[in-house]
Structure 1
């Protein structure tokens, strides 16, 4: 009887069985959402062991994310568990580092760089956009919860909503060797907001920062490389990169990164 009880306890504490990855090159991220840094990728057909599950970014109607034995998260939509619900225990303490909130200088830089447009328009790189540079993900910007044409007040709310995503992914992709103050952090938030988390993560700039190189030197050398759209140098991007460098070099702001998790 004692053996049976112990076996039952062990079973309840053990991770779930291995499940098959159903998508092609499925990303395993540092947190439960598409804005987190990619830690590794799984090929289709790979067996992964799930240690726990938690809620995160919704992918094709499924908001569950699976934490694998590799310590990163994959969208449950791409894992063949046989159900769209939970198959194992919920993760406890799954929150990652809390991203610092951008300072007023950063908000002003992004708002000035993007400009405000109440109605949907096509930006310089051909993407449908609205408000302060919100890149639409659905037809007619259907994902926006505010009424279009946007009011200035709602436009600022949408900007604040959008900035959180980039603050979060930027914080997740930088290591403890990247020591930034709020102005340097803000310059990178502006860059990431403009180019996207994927561009930032794959950039030489982030690699150099994660190697512990001097922040202002890295930004001064790397940011000016990101001024092209459709193969052409865009004056607006040149101005924005220069403003980001100027912000990074402005003294007087508090510490931003690294943060304690």
Structure 2
């Protein structure tokens, strides 16, 4: 089941309202409310429904940038590592890079297998168990009919896998960005957190007690075992599928590996 409606203890709002040039969050990805022409002219993607107080041509503009970065209002960049000139719109809409400035790695095959098993395969756009339109392995449609997907329907498992890898880039970036470089994670630990962020959204992950505890230097395996299972609700109700997914993510997180994925290798 796809993302951004999961809560640990309370239900969080799905939409973040914002004024023109202000911050917004589109399906868990940070951005700024910009005119669609400004956004597209700077290489960004406009997502409807996340700047509801503004004119119709003002939408939440998102864009990946630099080496593993995401365009966002500078004051919301937790690493403090920003780069100007890579994002459309106002001067404070900057590329927020991981603290190390290095590109986050792709998740390993164990993580891909976990996500595929959790999400299931859907060849054509269809509502998921809570009514959100999805396709492939948990791709949340951004436009009517999922027209943003660069593959024809019905998807094959191969094209759905390619779409999943593309979708995961934003979540790899936000996990690398939100966790300080002093926290060392192997590829299984990193992958488990990317799977979790893919399910709950970057905004929820970044503001979580889990990330706070990791950044405070607590033992990663303990933090994951205690915090991940809390994210088992959708619409205020515990879902068995989420209970299972969180247990699988904890198991992956605890699987030993000598491959270091965070901080991102340069």
Using the size of structure 1 for normalisation, the TM-score is 0.69
Aligned residue for 1:107? 112
Aligned residue for 1:10? none
Residue 160 of structure 1, CA deviation: 1.0
Q: What are structure 1's unaligned runs of at least 5 residues?
A: 1-21, 28-33, 42-54, 82-90
2:43–2:88: 8 Å Cα contact kept in structure 1? no
Residue 162 of structure 1, CA deviation: 0.8
1-structure distance, mates of 2:199, 2:187 = 18
> Are the structure 2 counterparts of residues 142 and 68 from structure 1 closer, same or farther at C-alpha, using a change threshold of 3 Å?
same
Match of 2:150, SS state, is coil
Residue 72 of structure 1, CA deviation: 3.5
State which of 190, 200, 204 in structure 1 corresponds to 2:205.
200
Match of 2:44, SS state, is strand
1:184–1:248: 8 Å Cα contact kept in structure 2? yes
Aligned residue for 2:49? none
Higher relative contact order (CA 8 A, sep 6+): 2
State which of 59, 71, 76 in structure 1 corresponds to 2:88.
76
2-structure distance, mates of 1:167, 1:181 = 14
2-structure distance, mates of 1:66, 1:137 = 19
2-structure distance, mates of 1:80, 1:249 = 42
1-structure distance, mates of 2:128, 2:83 = 33
1:97–1:172: 8 Å Cα contact kept in structure 2? no
Larger radius of gyration: 1
1:183–1:247: 8 Å Cα contact kept in structure 2? yes
Match of 2:218, SS state, is coil
Once the two structures are superposed, what CA deviation does each residue of 1:215-239 show, in whole Å capped at 9, x if it has no partner?
1101111101101011111000000
Instruction: Map 1:1-261; keep pairs closer than 5 Å.
Output: 23=20, 25-26=22-23, 35=29, 57-59=44-46, 72=82, 75-77=87-89, 79=90, 96-259=101-264
1:128–1:136: 8 Å Cα contact kept in structure 2? yes
2-structure distance, mates of 1:209, 1:253 = 19
1-structure distance, mates of 2:172, 2:120 = 20
Q: What are structure 2's unaligned runs of at least 5 residues?
A: 1-18, 33-41, 47-58, 66-70
Residue 61 of structure 1, CA deviation: 10
> Are the structure 2 counterparts of residues 167 and 61 from structure 1 closer, same or farther at C-alpha, using a change threshold of 3 Å?
closer
Once the two structures are superposed, what CA deviation does each residue of 1:82-132 show, in whole Å capped at 9, x if it has no partner?
xxxxxxxxx9x9994201121110111011111101011212332110000
Larger deviation, residues 224-233 vs 248-257: 248-257
Once the two structures are superposed, what CA deviation does each residue of 1:13-60 show, in whole Å capped at 9, x if it has no partner?
xxxxxxxxx726437xxxxxx946x9xx9xxxxxxxxxxxxx663345
Residue 67 of structure 1, CA deviation: 9.0
